[in-house]
Amino acid sequence: MTRAEAERLAADVPKEPYYAGRWRAARGAAAFDVVDPVTERCIATVAEAGSEEVDEAVRAARSALADGPWGKLDGSDRARLLNRVADLLEERSEQFAALESLDVGKPGFEPRVIDLPQAIRTFRHFAGWADKVTGRSIPTPGYMGRPTVSYTVREPVGVVAAITPWNSPTMIAAWKVAPALAAGCPVILKPPEDAPLTSLLLASLIEEAGFPPGAFSVLPGRGPMTGQLLIDHPGVDKISFTGSPQTGHKVAVAAAKGFRRTTLELGGKSPQLVFADADLDAAADGVAVGIFANQGEVCAAGSRILVARAVYDDIVKRLVTRAQGVRLGDPFDDGTTMGALISARHRDRVARYIAAGVAGGARLVAGGRQPERPGYFVEPTLFADATNAMTIAREEIFGPVAAIIAFDSDDEAVAIANDCDYALAATVWTSDVGRAHTVAGKIKAGAVAVNGWSPLDPALPWGGTRLSGHGRDLGWAGIEASTEEKTVTVVL
């Protein structure tokens, strides 16, 4: 699809809140502009959901749940609807991929190869769980001399507010929406204001799939406005949030007021450990993808590259070659391998980190500049001779910038990997199976990959600890996070 076709598609996407089974012009005067990160032009103006829309959407969701049309559906009905969403996404995946490239600024092949297939598989995976949300039968010794039968059932947690970031909006919306719907929860999605278009298109497709009114809503708006109204609303039972630790903290505070449940998928500063026995070619390729994919705007970006001293110079050389091979450009041009960052503000933030790397004494070996052209581009950037104490090794940059750090032993590699405020993901490159398992066991992270960067799958639990948050999306963990386990004991 060409840029002009994607722009026409953007013009046709509904740009207002959807709830109670209808698209609604927001009654407040507020609206926000969506800017194309590559051309810096406004590609859409979207109506912002205000307090009335948030309140009505929550009410509609609550009534869909309590004896409403959604609550009455059984698991196999929910499975059918979720499979229908997957089918429609599959049919329109080219359109979604083009719109995602336009909205986020990422090269065309990435949504085609990663985001869309993952989103489709996520809806299918959770369609598979929808009629298998079972409890347990638990043996008990009896009560006051009488025998007992005890079992548990899993019930929907209630209305789920799903709040998503801009870096992979379709895929992350699927991660949050599909498990909650599979479990029987009504979902209200608050998409990112910087890139809301694919979430709005997803909403129109969920509508087309035939979900009953109130089962799914989308409320576009800015975080401190619509987002805050939604997380403060007492009718929301659970907040499923993916975004920065700073906003995650606000979500946790709002949720604590009513002891409401949260899943917080926050940032990362993930290590990629390259041992001397690794296949160095494969490691260099994988490590480069791990930091440069999606412009480095990935929660699991491997922004701390820890390399055994024996192969340090070799790996630095190979990574510099990979960085120099990256082609920055328009996502709609053939051959572009890296697009633009999401906004001028974010580009400036990344540039400040690059300046901090230089000022902190790390050796800039690749990139570091912003090309002279429109768009929020930053070159893929590598710092060698970095230490784990430097700002560029400690704070999440969320751009194509990595610190390369040397280590002298396995213990030191693990110690550096774990000396971090975040604990989301890690990658280990080694050809020694014993070392692979030992190191994977010692690393503090929600997900460790060996010899391949971040092999995501909807069947695998996803999430972290520390500043990376808590709780898990995906797999059975996603169903557990969307249900309450109720115990029933019958005294016979």
Rule CB under 6 A: which residues touch ligand NAD? 163-167, 172, 190, 192-193, 222-224, 227-228, 231, 242-244, 247, 250, 265-268, 299, 396, 398, 424
Torsion of CA 93, 98, 101, 107, to 10 degrees: 90
- Write phi, then psi, for 463 (nearest 5 degrees): 160, 180
**Least distance from ligand NAD to the Cβ atom of residue 218, Å:** 12
What SS3 state is found at 307?
A: strand
Residue with the closest Cβ to ligand NAD?
A: 223
Residue whose C-alpha is closest to residue 72's, from 212, 236, 235, 209: 212
- Number of Cα atoms under 13 Å in the Cβ half of residue 18: 25
Q: Which is nearer to ligand NAD, 250 or 435 (CB)?
A: 250
- Smallest separation (angstroms) from ligand NAD to the CB of 222: 6
Of 101 and 240, CB closest to ligand NAD? 240
Helical packing angle, 197-209 and 75-91, nearest 10°? 130
Q: How far is the CB of 298 from ligand NAD (least distance, A)?
A: 7
**Has 265 been annotated as catalytic?**
yes
Measured CA to CA, the distance from residue 25 to residue 87 in angstroms comes to 29
Q: Which one is catalytic: 265, 297, 396, 480?
A: 265
Task: Choose between 247 and 336: whose C-beta lies nearer to ligand NAD.
Answer: 247
Q: Tell me whether residue 194 or residue 330 sits nearer to ligand NAD (CB atom).
A: 194
Beta strands (DSSP E) in 211-290 are 216-218, 238-242, 261-265, 271-274
Which listed residue (299, 379, 420, 480) is catalytic? Answer: 299
| Minimum separation from the CB atom of position 363 to ligand NAD (A) | 26
Encoding tokens for residue 410?
């396995």
Q: The tokens of 399 are what?
A: 């751009």
We find the least distance from the C-beta atom of residue 232 to ligand NAD, in angstroms, to be 8
Which CB sits closer to ligand NAD, 407 or 422?
422
Residue 438's nearest CA partner among 467, 417, 462 is: 417
Active site residue 420: no
- Identify each DSSP E strand in 177-327 by its residue range: 187-190, 216-218, 238-242, 261-265, 271-274, 304-308
Active-site residue list: 265, 299
